[in-house]
Amino acid sequence: MSTHNIALAPLVQGFFHDWLIKQRGLSAHTVRSYRDTWKLFLRYSADRHGRPVAKLGFRDLGAPEVLAFLDHLERDRHTGVGTRNCRLAALRSFFSFVATREPLALAQCSEALHIQLKRSTKRPPSYLEPQEIEAILRQPDRSRVEGQRDHTLLSFLYNTGARIQEALDVRIQDVNFAKPFCVRLLGKGRKERVCPLWPETVVLLRSLLARQPRGDEQRIFVSRYGEPLGASGVRFKLAQYVAEARKAVPSLAQKRVTPHTFRHSAAVSLVSAGVDVTVIRNWLGHASLDTTNLYAQANLATKCAALELVEPPASRPPRWRRDPGLLEWLDSL
């Protein structure tokens, strides 16, 4: 049986509109992630087959194309294993969708669905030390509204540990400007959580909104024209601030700093402060405690503090031998 007559466009449209949005109700962020994967995959496949995207058929998107695309991501686009696996998950979801609707495509779908996720060594997340964060926060020119916005946004990211898109989606009505200061965040899987805010963060937010007034239902962090900010634009500006901050704090040259680094830094700071990992999990919106535990592993200062509580072997006599008062008291029994 052949898949030559199976049109691709209706399947892709049905996958996004009927399956992802209507039936599964995935968040706009997840849909955008899947969309970006498919834009990359279709362009790559078109180049591979030497024809425009509009001329591709379903038969052109088999397991060999998926494997070649994944190799292309790692080799040419220098994508990490985590991102590679996310792209594969988006593609496998599509083939699973097609398998239930096109019996003739079952064999082709099965081959693609058998492509495995790539294993990788889990490294502790990279994070910033307090002096590095302070150096970055000093860079935005707060005399200009864009600089004040950037300073407030970066401070907000460190305070809340929010993902960048979670922060950019925050509206004025999501913030409680009266005590207890807090903000409602909408995370992955449409899960809501509430994060406390420092009074200093609330002052920054109030000052920004006084300078750039917004309606209660509008987003707080916007462009100079009042349009929503994009995550890529924030990454670009942050890279400029980090480049300047390196002149004062050379240790930043050894780190790749993104908006997500502020999330890691917030988590490690909570660990350092002795906050229970289950509280940190709820604070950051982690689905699994295993993810949160990575931050406990990452913090060297916390490990050193724990080591101070343990005596090395044969370094000093046992504590009871170093207390002559206790020995005398025992001899008197």
For residue range 242-295, what is the model confidence (pLDDT) as tens digits?
999 999 999 999 998 999 999 888 888 887 777 666 766 677 776 555 555 555
pLDDT band of residue 224 (cuts 50, 70, 90) is: confident
The least confident of 3-7, 14-18, 30-34, 78-82 is 3-7
Question: Can you give the residue ranges of every domain in the chain?
Answer: 8-113, 130-307
263 assigned to active site = yes
pLDDT of residue 309: 47
Q: Region 52-61: what's the mean pLDDT? A: 93
The model's pLDDT over 80-112, given as tens digits with 9 standing for 90+, comes to 888 899 999 999 999 999 999 998 999 999 999
pLDDT of residue 297: 55
Catalytic residue among 149, 263, 264, 281, which?
263
Q: Report whether 148 contacts 142 (CB < 8 A).
A: yes
pLDDT of residue 323: 59
49 assigned to active site = no
**Token representation of residue 231:** 């995550």
Catalytic residue among 149, 163, 264, 281, which?
163
Q: Region 3-15: what's the mean pLDDT? A: 86
pLDDT band of residue 134 (cuts 50, 70, 90) is: very high
User: Over 60: is that where the pLDDT of 333 sits?
Assistant: no
| CATH superfamily of the 130-307 domain | Intergrase catalytic core (1.10.443.10)
188 assigned to active site = yes
Q: Region 50-59: what's the mean pLDDT? A: 93
260 assigned to active site = yes
Q: Is 171 exposed, middle or buried (0-12, 13-18, 19+ CB in 10 A)?
A: middle
CA-CA distance, 149 to 142, in Å (whole number)? 8
Rounded to the nearest integer, the mean pLDDT of the chain is 85
Catalytic residue among 29, 101, 184, 188, which?
188
User: Over 80: is that where the pLDDT of 226 sits?
Assistant: yes
User: Over 50: is that where the pLDDT of 1 sits?
Assistant: no
pLDDT of residue 3: 64
User: Over 90: is that where the pLDDT of 26 sits?
Assistant: no
pLDDT of residue 307: 44
pTM over 0.85: no
pLDDT band of residue 221 (cuts 50, 70, 90) is: very high
